Amino acid sequence: MSRAAKVSRVGPMARVRLDQISKTFGEGPDAVTAVDDVTLDIAHHDFMILLGPSGCGKSTLLRMVAGLEDPTAGDVYIGDRRVNDVLPKERDVAMVFQSYALYPHKTVAANIEFPLKVRGVGKAERAEAARRAADVLGLGDYLRRKPGQLSGGQRQRVALARAIVRDPAVFLMDEPLSNLDAKLRGDTRAELVDLHRRLDSTFIYVTHDQVEAMTMGTHVAVLNAGRLEQVGTPQEVYDRPASVFVAQFIGTPPMNLLPPGMLGSSSVRVGVRPEHLHLSTTGPLHGTVRQVEHLGHEVLLSADLDGGLRVTARLGVDETLPGVGDAVAFAAAERHLHRYDAVSGLRLEDRSV
């Protein structure tokens, strides 16, 4: 199974389309809606991140693409094919689980070969494919080991190798990095991006970690309580959050959201990111400094505004900084203000106030 042949076969097929998908668990008064009318178009060779807090329905959405859950309503398309009634094995998808789901009794080689084995691929071809996949992920020396003899990072790679060995049209990943330590997580992020570049497959990646979303995705879909809040490139989602939820979910520290009426009309909430808030004696926002955190390359300054709201500003280390308890005033440039409807929480498109 050469890669070139695969590309031409699968190429345009790897587009994934979710059309008004809903998923409800249970019946009657106990019913829980995990996914609520989500429509999402994922282009071929996209690296789509499904981002949201736990319980937002992102994993359920992924599982519906995999075929592990049936949508209550709506259609799932992979390529041109509606796959609602298609078994997972015929969807040409591979999934990496948060737990890695390795078979503890099988060697690394046998784990990687397993998807080929169930497809009836011959022994020699299987071993060759497994060795190649293992080499891609630097596992060549560990083929004879059992998962129990590997580190967390190595196990994670075995799970990835088992996915790439099948050369699937779509990779589905459910928080694959969440069990790794911070350093390894950083390295693996870069490797996944590299892997995506090398393979001609579509990636759908579930995470609650906005850093993963920002650094890896070509597109990010932000979900909240089963509903799709926004889809866009990471930069778009960061620069122009479509709702109050997205504004506060993405960015560390999160965007400062002022109460309705503070700056502008009473039907508008204004938000400003910490890096866009600067000290200015003539600024409109007055408060008292509560905390000054020196991070080496920047300073996070938190202050309680006169209305009681806590805001955070990201300042340079060279600035003359006030001390805790001092009165300060902040200002922000007009182009850096985000405006949201006070009732619906939706973004108001940029018009001057």
Contacts to another protein by CB under 8 A: 66-68, 88-89, 93-95, 97-99, 101-106, 114-115, 118-119, 146-148, 162, 166
* Beta-ladder partners of 25: 32
- Residue 94 or residue 237: which is nearer to another protein going by CB? 94
Tell me how far apart the alpha carbons of residues 238 and 232 are, in angstroms, rounded to a whole number.
9
Residue 70 main-chain phi, psi, to 5 deg = -95, 135
CB half-sphere exposure, 242, CA atoms < 13 A: 15
What secondary structure letter does DSSP report for 126? H
Residue with smaller CB distance to another protein, 114 or 340: 114
Name the minimum Å distance from CB 67 to another protein. 7
Query: What's the closest the beta carbon of residue 24 comes to another protein, in angstroms?
Result: 18
| Residues 148-176 as b or e (16 or more Cβ within 10 Å = b) | eebeebbbbbbbbbbbbbbbbbbbbbbbb
CB of 63 to another protein, least distance (A): 8
**201 or 224: CB nearest another protein:** 201
C-alpha 303/C-alpha 338 separation (Å) is: 20
Minimum gap (Å) between residue 162 Cβ and another protein: 8
Q: How far is the CB of 46 from another protein (least distance, A)?
A: 20
Nearer to another protein, 170 or 231 (CB): 170
167 vs 229 by CB, closer to another protein: 167
- Pairing between β-strand 310-315 and β-strand 299-305 as defined by DSSP bridges: antiparallel
Euclidean distance between CA atoms 76 and 38, whole angstroms? 11
As a whole number of angstroms, the distance between CA 300 and CA 322 comes to: 12
